[in-house]
Amino acid sequence: MPNAQAADERTATAMSDLLQGALTVTERAALAASMFSGRRNEQATDVAASDAMRRALLDLPIGGTVVVGEGVRGIAPTLYNGETLGSGGPAVDIALNAVEGANSTAMGRSNSISVLAMVQDGTIMRVPEVYMSTIAIGPGLPDDVVDLDATVEENVRNIAQAKGVDPGDIVVCMLDRPRHDSLFAKAIHAGARTLAIPDGVISGIISTALPDSPIDLYMGTAGAKEGVLAAAALKCFGGRMRARLLFRNDDERAMAQAWGIKDPTRVYRTTELVSGTIAFAATGINDGILLKGVRRRRDSLTTHSLIADTVSGSFRFEEKKHARTAG
């Protein structure tokens, strides 16, 4: 027993160190991106955040490999898939998005965050630059309460029954995109209320699993990378997601095959998207449904972040003040 207890303590300490490292990385990226909030320069926003995230990752005592990054080498100038980062230490796979919602940040709109997940002794599904259809719910519900192949009406009815409420008490969150117009109409026809977000798939999915969130169900299509990152967070504290890759043309289908995706119609569960020991961090850039944005004051900068891990199986919010030299 003493040996087992010591091993548990070492695991907890290692995870705490990994979490703090992940938090530092997303804070630095968010601070850098916040300099460009509302300045209507999406490229400058993304470059600033990516550079800051890369510098922070290089300083971490890890042997990191980017498996879900900003793109493939030769197209993405930094944080590309396959890039090795860190000053040396435990081997980790990295999934990241320096700015989810770069356009929203640049235009001064809501719901932009910086996100990082690091996985030890597991896998992160490597996904090409394609769309993913997702449906997500929080913890404490039957495993089969929602289904990607069920109708919107069936999913709303089933989750309402599982929660013991009327469909009118269910809030369905989706990206505000024309491709989702029919989903919004069907959710409303089913009796649910809806929440449209301009950007922030990861925030929307994670919010389904938070106890004080008004969001019961997330659904829709968006980038596959964002789906994998959201799955990493849900894996930490019990939320669940179903996902299927979507291909708009033969070129995307061929690309998926080249990435080793053999069944293009497969529905993936959360644990098939990401498994192992996970440290997850997200820091707000502009205010959103999940996190407050960076507060820039004369003497300090304040960040608001969410961190979660699979060792504790929990999450917490963290607000931190930084010296003005931090961003």
Q: Classify residue 73 by its DSSP letter.
A: B
Shared-domain flag, residues 175 and 200: yes
The answer on 164 and 87 residing in a single domain is no
Residues 69 and 108 in one domain: yes
Mean pLDDT calculated for residue range 157-173: 97
pTM more than 0.85: yes
Is the CB of residue 150 less than 8 Å from the CB of residue 133? no
The verdict on 256 and 182 lying in the same domain is yes
User: In this structure, are 148 and 270 located in the same domain?
Assistant: yes
Whether residues 100 and 155 share a domain: the answer is no
State the CATH number of the domain containing residue 205. 3.40.190.90
Burial of 176 (0-12, 13-18, 19+ CB in 10 A): middle
For residue 205, is pLDDT > 60? yes
Does residue 117 share a domain with residue 78?
A: yes
What is the Cα 170 distance to its own chain's centre?
23
Q: Is residue 81 located within the same domain as residue 215?
A: no
Relative to beta strand 91-100, strand 63-68 is parallel
Q: Tokens for 167?
A: 């469909």
pLDDT band with cut points at 50, 70 and 90 for residue 14: confident
Q: Which of 116, 306, 284 shows the shortest CA–CA distance to 212?
A: 306
Q: What is the DSSP letter of 164?
A: T
17 and 99 housed in the same domain: yes
- The domain boundary, picked from 258, 275, 292, lies at 275
Q: What is the largest CA-CA distance in the chain?
A: 59
Residue 7 has pLDDT above 60, yes or no: no
| Residues 144 and 244 placed together within one structural domain of the fold | yes
Q: What's the CATH code of the domain at 25?
A: 3.30.540.10
Residues 165, 68 share a domain: no
Better-scored residue on pLDDT, 155 or 257: 155
Enclosing domain of residue 143? 131-275
**Cα-only R_g, the chain:** 19
* pLDDT of residue 8 exceeding 60: no
Number of domains in the chain: 2
Is residue 168 located within the same domain as residue 214? yes
What is the predicted pLDDT for the residue at 259? 87
